Amino acid sequence: MSGVTDLPARTEERLSTRVRDLMRPGVITIAEDAALLQAKRAMARHRVHAVLVVGADTGRPMGWVSDHGLLRWLEHDLSAIAARQAITEPPRYIDADATAREALEALATPPATHLLVGEPGRSPQGVVAPLDLVELITRP
């Protein structure tokens, strides 16, 4: 990734932080057939920028509905639209033992805006979003 090689020593050290130590534990989820209005409410209630849509029968991650993705639906009745219709990106995973640098590289690759921590086929341990990395790198 360009621009990441000439960093101050403190930043380099912080980029070696394990994902498990910077992730947000747990994942805010919504069933695929829930109304998009419920997704919006969940984002507001939990102060997150996206919720994970999961299969109603399987519980498997289908993808993310983001606050940005909601913009295209604002002129519609959000209570009449299923969350699955507003998925803006597929689920992407990162291992809990990966480094913050690896998370940074994954999040810099579109369309990723959130990473599930864990392995596909298993319940995610948490989430890493860009603000988690900004907080890690910029804290005093």
The token duo for 38 is 């419920």
* Statement: residue 2 has pLDDT above 80: no
Read off the pLDDT band of 7 (50, 70, 90): low
The token duo for 60 is 């498997």
Provide the pLDDT for residue 80: 98
What is the pTM for the complete model shown?
0.88
Write the DSSP assignment of the chain as a string of letters: -TTSSS--HHHHHHHTSBGGGTSEES--EEETTSBHHHHHHHHHHHT-SEEEEE-TTT--EEEEEEHHHHGGGTTS-GGGSBGGGG--B---EE-TTSBHHHHHHHHTSTT-S-EEES-TTS---EEE-HHHHHHHHH--
pLDDT mean across residues, the chain = 93
The CA angle 132-137-140, to the nearest 5 degrees, is 115
CB 113 within 8 A of CB 89: yes
Residues 39-95: pLDDT tens digits? 999 999 999 999 999 999 999 999 999 999 999 999 999 999 999 999 999 999 999
Beta bridge partner(s), residue 64: 52, 89
Residues 95-137: pLDDT tens digits? 999 999 999 999 998 889 999 999 998 899 999 999 999 999 9
CB 89 within 8 A of CB 3: no
